[in-house]
Every structure is written in structure tokens, then in C-alpha cells.
Chain A
Amino acid sequence: MPGFFSPFITKPDSVSQIMLKVLLALIPGIALYVWHFGPAILVSITLASLTALATEALMLRLRNRPIAPFLKDNSALLTGWLLALSIPPLAPWWLVVIGTAFAISVSKHLYGGLGNNPFNPAMIGYAVLIISFPVQMTQWLSPHGMGSVELGFIEQLNYIFLGVFPEGIKLDALTMATPLDTLKTQLHLDGQIREILDMPIYGRLAGHGSEMVAAGFLLGGLYLLATRIISWHIPVVYLGTLFAVAGLFHLLDPAHYVEPLFHWFSGAAMIGAFFILTDPITSPTTHKGKLIFAFGAGLLTYLIRAFGGFPDGMAFATLLMNICVPLIDAYTQPKVFGKKGQKS
């Protein structure tokens, strides 16, 4: 019987509040996203949220679990938001729905629901989509003032839901490769870093517009750190590793390896460092484990970006490190009170 035994008091804190704060922390990044890329992303987020909640409710029903308390915990919403933010905003509606539904149903509920999923559901959703629908997953909107044409909100909705464009406009005119993708392609074509970065899609540090979105996520991440929703271990070590490894390569060969700050502010590095890797369910529980986990993720992100087949390595780095979590936890158990001098 709950509440019959001590302790009789609890801190007014709950899973839904934690998740809500994480959602709030995403808002600066989303706001900057809208500012630079237009409101299409809001449509994706809404679509993902609705799909996430519906799938969650359906799965809970199928699993014969109470629905209300789990829907209120905001975890499905967070998965939806994170996935929506990693998909091109002008993606067709079914892409968002398939990704979110897969993330919630397969990678969350088939593993036992909240708290039991070994892999980050949003990243699983992303991985499934990028492997299954590579074309749609690389149609990124150009930032304001970059593309040759720009669509109004209604026209965007028309495309997302009906796949129709206004007369005389083609998709290619609206979209472009991401900064990381462009870099990779250009390096393949024997370009030099300095020349590539002079291209109009690059801003001060990384991609024009996208660097500001990353900065927005950094801001939100700092809020999470300040409110102790997350600990410093993962973001600091992840970004530190990424910086160090990128810096090392950059020092060795500045013509072919871009500088470390570029890596910080492009792709999913920032949102990953503060919002994805820090997902408590899929990251280690010990401090030492978190350090190892973040180090591995940072290293893998860089290796995939610099040498792998995909432009960004965040999602796969996360998933690969997720696999290692139980092992990391088992080997990093700290010494307990009064037994620090002893050998375990």
C-alpha cells in the first residue's frame, strides 16, 4: 500500500515536470529555427506530437497499461519533438508519422515502455527514416534569403500534406544540402576548406542559420544544467571530445579538416549534447560511466562525420553508445560509503 510506510513526505517533483522542462528548453532553438527557416518546422512538431501521443495511447492500450498517467508524463511528446527537429522541416507528412510511430511503438513500447528502452527512440526513428527514405531525409529547406524561391506557410502546408507545389516551382529550388553535407561533398571533389567555407551557405561559425539554431539549443541546454535537470558530465565531455578530436585533425591538416567550432555548431551536435545523449533512460547512471559514454559518442560523431558515409554522425554515435550502456554501468560501479580503501 503506497504511503503506508516511511518516508511519508516526498519532494514535489515528477517525471512529467522534468520532461516539461526539457520541452521548454527546446523552445529557444525552435524559435530560432522558425526565424531562419520559416514555420514549416512547427507543422512537423505538431504532427509528430499528435502521432507520438496517439501511438503511445494505442500501445498502452495494447499492453493493458493505464493510459492517463503515461500520456501525462510528457515523454512521448519529447520523443516526437526531438524527432521532428532532426527531420527536414519540409518533409512530407507521412515521413514524420512513420518515424514517430516507429520510434514510440517499436523502440519504446516493445522494449517495455517508459524507462526500459535501451535506445533513444527519437534516434531510432531518425535512423529508420534516413535508411529507408534517404531522398526525403536530405531535402532540407534553405534558410531565409538563400534559396531561389521561398514558399508561404499555406504553400508549405500544401506540400507537406498534399505534395503539391505552386505552379512553376520545383522542390530543388527550395531545398539544399546541409552545411555538413555540402562540406563532405565538396571535400570529395577535392575542395579546400577555406574555399568551401566561403560558399554562401556558411555563416560565421558553421551553416548560415543553422548555427543560430544550434546556439539556441546551447542556450536551452544551459538552462537544463542550471536547473539540474541534467548533469554536466555528458554535454561537457561530449563537446570537449568533439572539440579536441576535431581540433587535432584541424591542426594536422587545416586544408581538409574543418575547425572544431564548426563541428559544435553544425548538425545535431548541440541538440545531441544537451537533449539526446543526456536522455537518462539510455545513458549510463554512474558519473564515470557518463564520462566514458560521452567520450565515445564524441569520438564516434567525429569519425562518422569525417570518415563515414553519412554527413552527420550524431544519431549513429548515440545509438552505438546506447548499446554499451549496460556494460559501462556494470564496470563503473563506484565504491560505497566506508569501503573506499578496499579492493572490490
Chain B
Amino acid sequence: MRTLYPFHGGIHPASNKAQSNHKPIAQAALPSRLVIPLHQHVGNSAKPVVEIGQCVLKGQIIGAPEGHVSSAVHAPTSGVIAAIDMQPVAHPSGIPDLCITLIPDGNDEWIAREPCDDWKALAHTDLRHRLRAAGVVGLGGAAFPSDMKLYAHKHKIKTLVLNGAECEPYITCDDLLMRERAAEILQGAEIMCALLYAEEVLIGIEDNKPEAIAAMRAAVLDGKYERMEVVAVPTIYPGGGAKQLIRVLTGIEVAAGVRSTNLGVQCFNVGTAYSTWRAIRHGEPLISRIVTVTGNVGQPQNFEALLGTPVNELVAQAEQLPDTRGYIMGGPMMGIRLPSAQVGVIKATNCLIAMSDSLFPPALPALPCIRCTRCVDVCPAELQPQELFWFAQSKNLLKAQEYHLFDCIECGACSYVCPSNIPLVEYYRFAKSEIWAQETSKKAADAARERHEYREQRIEREKQEKAEKLAAKEKAALDAKAQKSASPPPTPLPPAGEGASVSDAPVDADPEDTMHLKIQAAIDHAKQQAAGSKPGNTEQLTPQQQAEIAEIDARRTRIRELALSSVNEHTKE
């Protein structure tokens, strides 16, 4: 029996998994259209590489990865590109983002795939490249490009943790995947293990999923995987958080801002392992995923749905009940409310919950915090949520950071237990995004300051160079005059202009002085001009008119000065 290291806190909400975990995974019907966002992953948005009206085949790349951290997006079925435009996406802001709309032609015709019978023969870089091209990202919800997480030096990583904990209520997609496709998950894990040079694979599954544990254990035995172990972990939310699962299985705590790989652990969702196997062995890019459809529906169950399937079309297949008033993507603890029913399924969509007032009663009004510290008791990051709340509420962002705001994983356990019904996590999200925004503007300000200072320096330098040049020229002219009046000198003058340096010329006029004289002359000239042209109708004006005139005049003067200086510069050069 393996020693487990339970983490602090956690909650036991009603699991609500029984509704959807007794039916096998069903194939979702081909929808009427697919709305595929180009930004489904952490990192840069994919760049569209198709045109409107173009026919694409199933598995064809329609969005190419852009930059280092990015992932490819593929056509989930064959059809015609109907639009590339801004559509509502699964984002808490409800702001639309760039999506590709695909109308399926019904043929479901694959593009040529590149299967691989013996992945062990492939180089690691090749394997990673294939994963990137196949658009494989973490399917647990974070959607981080998987190839990026599969770099490792030998002997650096000891443990690969496979996350099958699935701690959020309602969600059963990993449960069903493990029950039905255990062997393929393990084969995927084998590839990951090889890429990471990991010594062991620990598969953590919460003990409320006995069938999945049994299936995975049987698959480990069948495949004779000696380095893999299926570990039943206690059922507690958020036991499926990567940091929490790593802690439970290995005792290692990965602090905020630290990479688990530096501590010898890497963690992947079981679904990601499955997709890795499909991508490497069969050359199938990530174009579908298992989605739990549950909540206010007649037939809660899991579907294998194409990415981009509109939510309403998918939920309809589970017989949506009439009093549905919205959808949650993800679980009830950390999911987001969808801004529209037409939003497409994305790589991170593990669950869709139809909401009704009876299942999710509207939130009660918040009362003040009574410092009861029930939130402290449940916080898996061992924070003091009430302190963070006070700081976030009073917008004392510095203090919030001091009290480790960024160690918060936003699991929502604190909000769940709060007897005052305070939306604590919302305050933390607000404080975090405010701090990020401030940091961004700080960086922008620093860059602007640097550019401004550089510009001032440049102007100063140019001024000086010009003055030097001018002084040299003048000197040459003076000397020439002197030469003309006097008898021709025995030695030739140094050439005036570009090559002449001040030190070469005899110093009898300070270059600064000539410069000032010139400027003064220019100013006098301008003044004379201004005095010469006085407008006629300037008498008996209201103060308002006078003010207006003054303002206009000021603007004119400024423009004139700017124009003059530019003209001068041009003529001189």
C-alpha cells in the first residue's frame, strides 16, 4: 500500500456523478455547423490558414500554431469554411473571439494521416513535433500545449502523474474514458513516460470511481506495465487539482511560480494521454473529445463530440429540459457560464451542465465577513482567504500579493463554505487581473520612459553636432574672407564642411555663440513677421471670444514653430 499525503482543507460537495456515469460514451450526431475558436489553448492564438468558401477535409489544419507556445487547430470533419469572424466563445467576459465556422458536408472524409506502428523508432523531437501539429493540449481544463510539457533531461523527472481524479461534481468524462479506453490511455502514458525519461507513472483516481480504478488496474496488468501504478486517492474537492494530486501521491508541494518538473514531477490528464496515443499511433489530430452533458437534461451522459459542436445542439441530444436558463462549461466549482448557447465545444470542454433554478438556485445576497475562518479550514493552498478578501475588497493589491494572492488556485472551496455568501473567488480574480493590468501598464510606461529619454538624448546630440558643423563652416567662411582681404597665406586651409573638425580650425569664435546668434536672429525674424500681420477685427470682443482666439493662436504658433523648425532642417541638409 502506497503512503498518501493528504493536503490541507478541501470540501465534500454533493458529487452528482451518478446521473451521467452509468451509460457508455455515445457518439454525438454530426451538427449542422461547427464553430471552432482559434484560441482554445494557453499561448498565442492559432493563425487561420484557410479561406472562406474553401473545402477542407477532416483533420486538415485550419489554424496554424503561431509562436513558441501555441497549438494547431484542425477541421473536425470535412466540409466548407463558411466564415472566419468574431463569434461568442467560452470565456467569462463574453467577449467574442476569432472563430472559423465550418459547414459539414456529411462525408466525414479524412485527410491523409500519418500513422506510426513503432513510435519508439521516432526521435523525441519528432514525437513532440507530431503532438504540436496534432494540436494536443491538456484536456483537464488548462489546455496547455502538451508538447511544451514533454521536454526533459535524463534523470530529471522521477514521476509522471496521470490525473484521473476528476474531483469536480457532475463531471464523469474521465471516469468513462478510463472505463472504456484504459489500454489506449496507458499506451499514451508510455509515450509521455519515454519523452520525460520518467521512472514511474502514478495514476491517481478518486475512490468514488471503483469501475475506473478496476479497469485501469486490469489494463496495467494486461499491458505488463511494470512502472505504472493505479492509486486510489481519497475523494475530496479539489483533489484533482494538479498541485493537490501531486502532493497526495508524492508528498511534493509545488508552490506557485515553481515548475513541478524542477521538483521531478510532471502531471497530465488521462484524456491527454489518450489523445497523445491517438495522435502518435494513428496520426489523428485532436478533433473531438469526451464531454459530459448533465444537469437539467433528461438523459445525462457522455458524448464523444467534435470540437466546435454548438452547445445547444449537443445538449439537445441529452434531451434538455424546458426550464433551462443557461449552461456551465466545466464543473460547478470552477466552470464558466457560457455567454451564448451557440458557443462551440473546445478542447477544454470536459462538461456541459444545463442550469435550472432548482439545480442552481440564484446566489443569496452577501453579508459582511464575520471572520469565521471556515474558508481557512478548507483552503487547499493553505491561504488566509478572509485576509485576501479584505485586501481585495479595499483594493489593497500590494498587501494582497504579500498574503500570497497568486498562490490561490481559484478552486472556489472558500466561496462554497462561506456562511456570508461572499463571492470570495470573484474578489481574488478581480485583484489578480487588476495586478496583471497594472504590471502591463507599468511595463508600457517603463518602455515609454526609455524611448523618451533616448529621444531626448538623440535630439541633444543632433543639436550639438549641428552646432559643431555650423561653427566649422562659419570659421571657414571667416578665414576665407580674411584670406581674400589679406595676402594669400602660404599654407592651404583645411577643407570646410563635412570633414572639418572644430579642433582643426583656429579658435577665435565660440561655436555656442554663433549658434545663439543664429537662433536669436530667427526668433527676431519671426517676431517681425508676427508683428507685421495683425488681424483687423480684434476689438470689442467678449472674454469668451478672446479666450478662443488665444487658444487658436497658441495652437497656430506651435504648429508654425514646428513647421519652421522642420523646414529649416530640410533646407540645411
Contacts and interface: CB of A to CB of B under 8 A. Distances in A.
- Bound together: yes
A280 B421 contact: no
Contacts of B304: none
Interface of A: 2-11, 13-15, 17-18, 69-70, 73, 75, 113-116, 280-281, 283, 285-286, 329, 333-340
B418 interface: yes
B466 interface: no
Interface stretch (B365-373, B448-456, B531-539): B365-373
A340 B8 CA distance: 13
B487 to A, nearest CB: 86
Contact of A337 (B255, B362, B412, B425): B255
Contact of A338 (B258, B335, B362, B418): B258
Interface of B: 7-8, 11, 13-14, 92, 169, 243, 247, 253-256, 258, 328, 330-337, 355, 360, 362-374, 376, 380-384, 386-387, 403-404, 407, 412, 415-421, 423, 425-426, 429
A10 B418 contact: yes
A10 B415 contact: yes
B360 A337 contact: no
A113 B369 CA distance: 11
A336 B416 contact: no
The A interface, classified by DSSP as helix, strand, loop or mixed, is loop
Contacts of B423: 2, 5
Contacts of B364: 2, 10, 14
A281 B254 CA distance: 33
A233 to B, nearest CB: 11
B257 to A, nearest CB: 9
B140 to A, nearest CB: 16
Nearest to B244: A337
A12 to B, nearest CB: 10
Given A337-B255, A339-B255, A8 B7 contact: no
Contacts of B418: 10
A11 B11 contact: yes
B421 A10 contact: yes
A337 B382 contact: yes
Contact of B419 (A9, A14, A337): A14
List 10 tightest A-B contacts by C-beta distance, closest first. Answer: A338-B255, A3-B363, A7-B412, A115-B368, A338-B253, A2-B363, A8-B332, A337-B381, A280-B372, A7-B333
A9 B333 contact: yes
B367 A114 contact: yes
A5 B337 contact: yes
A136 B32 CA distance: 83
A333 to B, nearest CB: 7
A285 B416 contact: no
A15 B387 contact: no
B90 to A, nearest CB: 13
A334 B355 CA distance: 39
24 contacts: A2-B365, A2-B421, A5-B426, A6-B333, A7-B425, A8-B332, A8-B337, A9-B332, A9-B360, A10-B363, A10-B415, A11-B13, A13-B419, A15-B367, A70-B367, A115-B368, A281-B371, A285-B386, A334-B384, A336-B382, A337-B247, A337-B381, A337-B407, A338-B256
B365 A285 contact: no
A257 B482 CA distance: 116
Contact of A333 (B374, B384, B425): B384
A5 B337 CA distance: 7
Contacts of A69: 365, 367
Contacts of A116: 368
A9 B407 CA distance: 23
> Which of A5, A116, A280: most chain B Cβ within 10 A?
A5
Nearest to B337: A4
A185 to B, nearest CB: 39
Given A114-B367, A114-B368, A335-B382, A13 B412 contact: no
A287 to B, nearest CB: 8
A11 B416 contact: yes
Nearest to A282: B371
B137 to A, nearest CB: 21
A2 B427 CA distance: 12
Given A3-B363, A337-B8, A337-B407, A10 B371 contact: no
A106 to B, nearest CB: 18
B370 A281 contact: yes
A329 B362 CA distance: 34
B381 A6 contact: no
Q: Which of B258, B335, B371 has the most CB of A within 10 A?
A: B371
Contacts of B355: 8
A9 B384 CA distance: 21
Contacts of A15: 367, 370, 419-420
A281 B247 CA distance: 33
Nearest to B402: A333
A274 to B, nearest CB: 15
Contacts of B365: 2, 69
Given A2-B423, A5-B337, A337-B8, A10 B416 contact: yes
B368 A338 contact: no
Given A5-B425, A11-B13, A286-B384, 15 more contacts: A2-B366, A3-B363, A5-B426, A7-B415, A8-B335, A9-B169, A11-B417, A115-B368, A115-B370, A283-B371, A333-B384, A335-B382, A336-B404, A337-B247, A338-B255
Contacts of A280: 370-373
Contacts of B7: 337
A6 B382 contact: no
Contacts of A338: 243, 253-256, 258, 407
A165 to B, nearest CB: 43
B11 A6 contact: no
A116 B369 CA distance: 8
Nearest to B361: A3
A280 B380 CA distance: 21
B377 to A, nearest CB: 8
A333 B370 contact: no
Contact of A9 (B255, B374, B416, B429): B416
B407 A336 contact: yes
Nearest to A7: B412
- Of listed A5, A70, A338, residue having the most chain B CB within 10 A: A338
Contacts of B420: 14-15, 115
A285 B376 contact: yes
B384 A285 contact: yes
Contacts of B415: 7, 10
Given A8-B335, A18-B419, A337-B8, A3 B362 contact: yes
B351 to A, nearest CB: 12
Contact of A334 (B333, B382, B425, B429): B382
Nearest to B404: A336
A215 B568 CA distance: 98
Contacts of B11: 11
Contacts of B243: 337-338
Contacts of A333: 384, 387, 403
A157 B156 CA distance: 81
A246 to B, nearest CB: 30
A285 B253 contact: no
A18 B419 CA distance: 8
